[in-house]
Chain A
Amino acid sequence: MTIPSLHLFVQTLILGVLVGGVYALMSSGLTLIFGVMRVINVAHGAFLVLGAYLTYVLFQNLKIDPLVSILITMPLFFGLGWVLQRYMLSRIESPEQTSVLVTFALALVMEGLLGAFFQTTVRSVKPSYATEALVFLTYRFPVTRLMGFGVALLIMLLLYLILQYSQVGRAIRATIQDPRAAQLVGINVTIVSAFTFALGVSTAAAGGSLLSMIYSFNPSSQADWIARTLSIIVLGGMGSLPGALVAALILGVMEQLTAIVITLYWSPIVFYFFLFFTLIVRPQGLLGEIIREKG
């Protein structure tokens, strides 16, 4: 244990908040999907890593900047999500535990395929500005993290606008609040589910692109990422977008603090403990309502 100086402490807070913003984007899709469909998409981590690999390929072969590649990966993932929901997930009769196993199986399939194509070598995307940092009042702001934070906020703002002001967004919010009543007033739950899943998966594409330039990754990283994003949405209250934002910032800061106060090796465990104890002490999370249980 080392007690950090004030300067180091503030620097850690800055890094924590920057990384927390990216975490928020990464978890937004997961919590949205749970809110509408009551499905925990355990394949979300694998989608993130798949997005990172896609960004890696675009960068290595076509020299496309990771931030620009978001414009390519997001629509692709939207289509992928739509197809998966319509032709696979919608077939499951009783969701809950079954959907966890099905999405887990999906994650395994993706991890195996990524391993077959890219081996288990650890990769990362290093654009020209990868090691640069802005210095403000003696505090360092790494450029990739700053850009990641900005892009994450931008996409979340877009998501918010879609949910708040579009027709389909209203339908999604209505379904989150009360699926049966939503159906009664004529909302097509099949379409809303497919759209939500597609939207959720497409945020994973953007999250994956940001991941690729901030972190290194290999196919088995998907396990770490599902743990992180799940902890965030559990802490924030499953199905709650503002909750996910707050929880992502908290966990981002906690992770960075653990890394400097104890060691880097202990920081991943922060997530698991948070996940474990939130579910036991306050299953509805920080801002969420109690998880509705059927049967």
Chain B
Amino acid sequence: MTRLRTFAPVLLVGIFLILLVFPALQHSQYYQHIMVMTLMSAVMASSWNILGGYTGYTSLGHAAFFGLGAYLVAWTHNHYGWHPFISTWFLGLVVTAVALVMGWISLRTQGSAFVVVTIAVVFIFRLLTLNLGSITNGAKGMTQPRPGWGGVPWSPVMIKIPFYYIMLFLLVLTIFVSWRIRQSKFGMGLVAIREDEGKAESVGIDTMMYKVLAFGISAYFIAVAGGIYSYFFTYIDPGFVFDIFVSVTMVLMAILGGRGTLWGPVLGAFIMQPLSNWVVAEFGGTQIHLSVFGGILLFVMLFMPQGILPTVSEYVKKRVMARRAATAG
């Protein structure tokens, strides 16, 4: 156990250092692209976890904030020339304000009713974006100029690299905030809500306030990621970003790695995103990747509902205990 305690931070620092120099090691655009997407997924799963993991409220609505971030960034870029790498941080706050209202409304429900309301949130935003064509360009979607800085486009060889580092920075920030929340009194309150909301309330926690705040915070990083994503692809359309599948992806990643843990969602993203890219590359135009995702989700929910990290750590703990018992006897 002590060996594991000293080993874990060394491992994390090692992985971080590798991530820091990854674009220098791997020049392939394809792998750099997958890494940008993986970092983004890790951001989204970790951010979702602040609500879904700590409070236990399973939201399938967070794709709405992803899409909102993407559309706001694309729109302000096209109309006012705001650079996405800067604007996304502020526009994320606007999305958070929307999310606070959405959270305040939808968190009146509990259990499965909450899941259903959040599904409706995604579809409402999707239909609004589709139908308000004069602002959003409807189903045709929105394009942005080729990525660059100060009117000079980045060279096609290097184009993934700025996105890689901004996503890496966003991921570090997300994990840091998630960690600080988990350590704080606020975070304890969130976990108390997950364990027993009634009791949490009776010891004086303003559960509604806590839940709404967690909802808003968890929307922020997802919205920022959405803003960067829209610039990364330079094209978005309603069906692409306001997609319930985007929500399911982050939920699956968080649950697979271990919902409610700090590193579980990151682990889940680093497993699922490359796998998903591989499936799409292998089976191309078909919809079979939906089945693969659904199948994995089914498997995890039925056989490993705790997720990888808690299952593994429980196993390790048991073995250590057994060894101790053996030596003591």
Stretch at the interface among B12-20, B27-35, B112-120: B112-120
A269 proximity list for chain B (CB < 8 A): 124, 127-128, 131
From the candidates A102, A119, A230, A294, name the one contacting B302 in the complex (CB within 8 A): A102
- Complex Cα spacing A91 to B302, Å: 7
Check: A171 CB closer than 8 A to any chain B CB.
no
Chain B 45-84 per-residue mask, 1 if CB under 8 angstroms from chain A, else 0: 0000000000010101000000000000000000000000
Q: Contact mask B283-325 → A, CB, 8 Å, 1/0?
A: 0001111111111011001100100000000000000000000
A109 touches B298 (CB 8 A): yes
Interface residue from B106, B124, B301 paired with A101 (Cβ < 8 Å): B301
List the A side residues contacting B295 at CB < 8 Å.
105, 109
* Whole-angstrom distance between the Cβ of A267 and the nearest chain B Cβ: 10
Residues of B within 8 A of A105 (CB): 293-295, 297-298, 301
Contacts of A223 in B (CB 8 A): 123, 244
Let me know if B234 is at the binding interface, CB within 8 A. no
**Residue A276 interfacial (CB < 8 Å):** yes
Main secondary structure of the interface of A (DSSP, over half): helix
Residue B105 interfacial (CB < 8 Å): yes
Contact B196 A295 (CB under 8 A): yes
Chain A residues touching B, range: 35 or more
Tell me, yes or no, whether A265 is within 8 Å of chain B by CB.
yes
Selecting from A74-82, A110-118, A142-150, the interface stretch reads: A110-118
Most chain A beta-carbon neighbours within 10 Å: one of B112, B244, B294: B112
A92 — which chain B residues lie within 8 A by C-beta? Answer: 301-302
- A90-124 to B contact mask, C-beta < 8 Å, 1/0: 01110011111110111111111111100110000
Number of A-B contacts (CB under 8 A): 141
| Cross-chain contact A276 with B292 (CB below 8 angstroms) | no
* Cα distance, A97 to B131, chains bound together (Å): 31
Find out whether the CB atom of A116 lies under 8 angstroms from the CB atom of B286: yes
Contact status A108-B302, CB under 8 Å = no
Mark contacts of B260-304 with chain A using CB atoms, 8 A cut-off: 1 yes-contact digit, 0 otherwise. 000000000000000000000000001111111111011001100
B56, B110, B287, B302: the one within 8 Å of A293 (CB): B110
Among residues of A, the one whose C-beta sits closest to the C-beta of B293 is A108
CA distance A219 to B290 in the complex (A): 11
In the docked arrangement, what's the CA distance between A38 and B111, Å?
11
Known: A116-B287, A268-B123. 8 other contacts (CB 8 A): A97-B58, A97-B115, A109-B295, A111-B287, A112-B291, A116-B291, A265-B130, A295-B196
Closest 4 CB pairs of A and B: A115-B287, A112-B291, A108-B294, A112-B290
Between-chain CB contacts (< 8 Å), 5 pairs = A112-B286, A112-B294, A266-B131, A280-B108, A293-B111
